[in-house]
Every structure is written in structure tokens, then in C-alpha cells.
Amino acid sequence: MNPFAYGFMLHAYMAAAIVAIMAGAVGYMLVLRGQSFAGHALGHVGFAGATGALLLGWPALPGLIAATTLGGMLMGLLGERLAERDTGIGLVLAASLGLGLLFLQFFTGSAAQAVSLLFGNVLGVDTPMLRTMLGAAIITLAALTILSRPLLFASLQPALAAARGVRLRLLSVLFLGLVGLAVAVSAQVVGVLLVFSLLVGPAAVAQRLTPRVWRGVALSVALALAEALGGVTLAFYTDWPASFWISALAAALYAGVLIIIKQ
């Protein structure tokens, strides 16, 4: 049983690699800025957008991308103060779940499509979707590279950055818009409910292992690649969902690092 002998497995490996590289880089900055909750909430926002698109007879992916990108930018407008930001994000999350439930009530298509949105279906990625994912990942990483210096400055020393003229709210809007795009693409692999495992898990481990930012970004990407490709491989040999294996590997790795550090 050679997974590379099957076309759908090659597509799955390529999709997992694309998502892992993007999620590892974006997720590191997300964790560094203390906005992990926003990444989790955007998955639910995307679910409402995708189910709304299906209800209108459109493909789910454009609706997912539009909802998460706009939702991320809206969250960025909520401000930088932690209490204010988390309250606003929680309200956006609740409203999005309510909309998603309403759209599902009227959606008469296959239930498998809804399940795929919730938990991902990396084995069902075809060539057109792969091209869309690659294009979105290139745009996300290019924009993140452009924003990286002011974003890092604003993340580590926000008061000084504001005094130097850095527009913190605009930077937050742009960054969370990129996070929304990353969430939408990642949901094709792990689903909107488990996107946290790829977006935050590797980044959290990397920040535990090294205080150096760029080394941490590289480590986060490497860990995300290992989890994503490992999850797809284990799914092939066990016939268990790839999203389960990816989330299980992320949780096991984080728990293992915590145990080692405490010892």
C-alpha cells in the first residue's frame, strides 16, 4: 500500500503542505499577538459564510473565504485592548454560529457537505481547489512578509510603536484579514472546528521551544508540516479521518513539550 500511487493522495499531500506552511507562519504571529481566540472564532465565521454560499447554490470555498476575511477585518476594528477585543470577538462568534445554524435549517443539499465544512475533507481536494489554495497561500504569505516588521514591532512594543506613528488598528485589521484567509484555506484540510490545531498548535509549541522570533516561525512551519503530512499518512493506513490525526498529533506534541519543559 503506497499512498503515492494514488492521485487523490498526492493532492492531499500537496494541500496539506500548502496549508501547513501558511498556517505555521500566520499562526506564529497570531499566538505572539495573543489573538488565538480570534483564530478560533474565525472558523465559526467561515462556517456561516460557507453554508450561506451553499444555500444560494454557490461553491462553499468562495463563501468561506469572503466570510473569514471580512470577519477578520471586522475583529481588527474592535481595537487592541484585550477585554474590549475578546468581548467583541465572542459576540461575532455567537452571531456567526447562529447564522450558520439558520442556513443549515434551510439547506436541502447533502449532509456530507456540511460535515466536510465542519471537519474537513483533505482527501477530496481536486486540482482546481488545489490551485485556489495555492494562490490564496501565496497572497497570504507575501502580505505577511510585507507586514512582518511593523507587525512584530506592534506586537512586542505596542506603546512605543504607537508613539513612532505605527497605526495599530489598521495593522490589526490587515493582519486579521490575512488570518481569515488562512483559516478559510486551512478549513479545507481540518475543517472549521479543528482549524485551531494547525493554526495555533505548532506556533504554541515553537514559542515554548525558542524565544527567537524567526527561528520560532521556521520551527512552527516545520511542526505544522510534520503534523499535516503525518495526519494524512496515518489517515491512509488506518482509514480514520485525517483531521482527527492532525488534531491528535498537535495535542500530543504540545502536551509532550509541556511535560519535558516542566521536568
- Flag whether pLDDT at 110 surpasses 80: no
Q: Residue 207: what pLDDT?
A: 93
User: Is there a contact between 133 and 143 (Cβ–Cβ < 8 Å)?
Assistant: no
Task: Report the alpha-carbon distance of residue 68 to residue 195 in Å, rounded.
Answer: 12
**Rg of the chain taking only CA atoms, in angstroms:** 18
The pTM score is: 0.87
**pLDDT tens per residue, range 141-189:** 999 999 999 999 988 888 898 888 888 888 989 999 999 999 988 888 8
- Which architecture, in CATH terms, is 3-262? Orthogonal Bundle (1.10)
Q: Residue 84: what pLDDT?
A: 58
DSSP-derived letter for residue 107 is -
Q: Residue 51: what pLDDT?
A: 84
**pLDDT tens per residue, range 198-216:** 899 999 999 999 989 999 9
> Coil, helix or strand for 241?
coil
Can you say how many angstroms the Cα of residue 186 is from the centroid of all Cα atoms in its chain?
A: 5
Grid look-up 495535542 returns: 251
Task: Please indicate whether residue 97 or residue 86 has the higher confidence score (pLDDT).
Answer: 97
| 42: confidence class by pLDDT, cuts 50, 70, 90 | confident
